[in-house]
C-alpha cells in the first residue's frame, strides 16, 4: 500500500470549494447549489481522495 501524500494547493482548494459549496447548497436555498449539493460534496471528496492518493496531483 502506498503512503498518502499531501495534494497540491490548487487541488486542495478546488476540493474544498466544491465541498463548501455543497454544504452551503444544503443549508441555504441557492437555486443551483441546492439542486446539486450532494454531487458537489461527493466531487469535492473524490478530488481530495485522488489528490492524496496520486503523487503530484
Burial class (CB in 10 A: 0-12, 13-18, 19+), 24: middle
pLDDT higher than 90, residue 17: yes
Residues 27-47 pLDDT 10s: 999 988 999 999 999 999 999
pLDDT of residue 56: 77
The whole-angstrom distance between residue 48's C-alpha and the CA centroid of its chain comes to 6
CB neighbour list of residue 51: distance below 8 Å, 6 or more residues apart: 7, 8, 11, 12, 15, 57
Q: What is the mean pLDDT of the chain?
A: 91
In 3D space, the residue among 3, 33, 35 whose CA is nearest the CA of residue 18 turns out to be 33
Amino acid at each position: 500500500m502506498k503512503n498518502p501524500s499531501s495534494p497540491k494547493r490548487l487541488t486542495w482548494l478546488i476540493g474544498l470549494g466544491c465541498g463548501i459549496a455543497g454544504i452551503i447548497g444544503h443549508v441555504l436555498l441557492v437555486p443551483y447549489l441546492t439542486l446539486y449539493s450532494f454531487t458537489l460534496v461527493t466531487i469535492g471528496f473524490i478530488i481530495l481522495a485522488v489528490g492524496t492518493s496520486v503523487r503530484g496531483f
